[in-house]
Amino acid sequence: MLAKATLVALFILLVWGNMVAGLKVGLACPDWPLCHGQVIPPLRLDIYIEFIHRVLGAITSILIITLCYKRTRMYKGAFKAIPIVAVLLLVIQIFLGGIVVLLKLPVDLTTIHFANAIIIFTLVLYTAYFDGEKIVPKISFSGPAGLFFLLSLLLFIQAVLGAYVRHSGSGLACPDFPTCLGFWIPPSLAGIVLNHYAHRLLAYLIFIVFIVTFIVSNYKESLKDANSYLLTACLLIVFQIMLGVLVVLTQLTFYVTAIHLSIGLAILSVTLLLWFKYINKNSFQN
């Protein structure tokens, strides 16, 4: 129950953070850790959108620390380091959040802030899956487990690149679709155009890789158990690409970008669960 509550809270926090960025209210509380010098800030919509993000962050932090404390007691040997690292990254994340506000949302730092959040999400999902009792913690990068780790890594890179596109103002650098500035390959691939175009190309690559993996899973015995997961991931990726188009056509409407991130997290979760599933399966077979 605690693991599920922590995952749900973290998911909501990440999506809410995306909404804060989409509504451009990240500096509605210009100070930290207080908001306008107060514990309870003035009643104004933009302030409370950012303030709620901070409150959600505090609640989620308590849940993560509690879950990781329990897992530290249940995990054995070197695997105790996983929940400990999750908490250390959480502490870094909290301070990064404060620095991001005080430095007025620098692009590189906000991107690092998001990347760190995704790593924390991955570690929390790991601790939720490997409860230390029925399913003991393990790590594997061989065979199908290695494949799904690499796919998860590819999705992580795409998510971080998407955050950089967003924070660097590259979201509308290619305002048309499927072309970019009227070209299949823009004549000037630099700056914000390159950022946006790279994000599109990587989305297509991810789609192709997942489709091929899904097709192979229908014939390769070692991937049979992944078939339904991969089908789900492929359908989500198609929906995600459609949402990406809608993000551009709606001029970065905040609720569309929030849904876009939600689906991205869902795709990453499915792929990570496949990695965990095959880690456990390989260990059981060995």
> What pLDDT digit, counting tens, does each position of 100-153 carry?
888 888 889 999 999 999 999 999 999 999 998 889 899 989 889 999 999 999
Statement to judge: residues 155 and 38 lie in one domain:
no
- The neighbour count for residue 3, using CB atoms within 10 Å, is 18
Report, as an integer, the average pLDDT of 41-65: 93
pLDDT averaged over every residue in the chain: 92
Please check whether residues 185 and 263 belong to one and the same domain.
yes
Q: Tell me, what's the pLDDT at 114?
A: 95
Alpha helices in 104-253, H assignment, sequence order: 107-129, 143-167, 191-217, 227-249
Distance CA 251, CA 245 (A): 10
Binned at pLDDT 50, 70 and 90, residue 22 comes out as confident
Q: What confidence score (pLDDT) does residue 211 get?
A: 97
Q: Indicate if 168 and 273 belong to the same structural domain.
A: yes
pLDDT top residue among 282 and 46: 46
The predicted structure's pLDDT at residue 282: 58
Q: How many domains does one find in the chain?
A: 2
Last residue of one domain, picked from the residues 137, 172, 205 = 137
154 and 17 within one domain: no
> Which domain-ending residue is among 102, 122, 137?
137
The verdict on 89 and 216 lying in the same domain is: no
The mean pLDDT value for 8-37 works out to 90
For residues 161 and 171, give the distance between their C-alpha atoms in angstroms, rounded to a whole number: 11
- Please indicate, yes or no, whether residues 117 and 257 belong to a single structural domain of this protein: no
Range of the domain at 85: 1-137
**154 and 285 share a domain?**
yes
According to DSSP, the residues that pair with 180 across neighbouring strands are 183
84, 149: one domain: no
| Per-residue tokens: 70 | 């329990």
CA distance 59 to 52: 10
109 and 180 share a domain?
Answer: no
Q: What is the mean pLDDT of residues 193-202?
A: 95
Q: Work out the angle between the directed axes of helices 81-102 and 45-74 (0-180°, nearest 10).
A: 160
pLDDT band at 229 (very low <50, low <70, confident <90, very high): very high
CA distance 123 to 119: 6
Q: Which of 137, 159, 177 is the last residue of a domain?
A: 137
Residue 242 has pLDDT above 70, yes or no: yes
Q: How far apart are CA 277 and CA 279, in angstroms?
A: 6
User: What is the pTM assigned to this prediction?
Assistant: 0.94
What percentage of the chain has pLDDT greater than the value 70? 98
pLDDT, average across residues 258-279: 95
Q: At residue 286, does pLDDT exceed 50?
A: no
How confident is residue 274, by pLDDT bands cut at 50, 70 and 90?
very high
Categorize the per-residue pLDDT at 285 as very low, low, confident or very high, splitting at 50, 70 and 90. very low
Does 224 share its domain with 243?
Answer: yes
Same-domain status, 171 and 55: no
State the pLDDT confidence band at 284, using cuts at 50, 70 and 90: very low
Q: Which of 57-71, 240-254, 260-274 has the lowest average pLDDT? A: 240-254
One domain for residues 65 and 109: yes
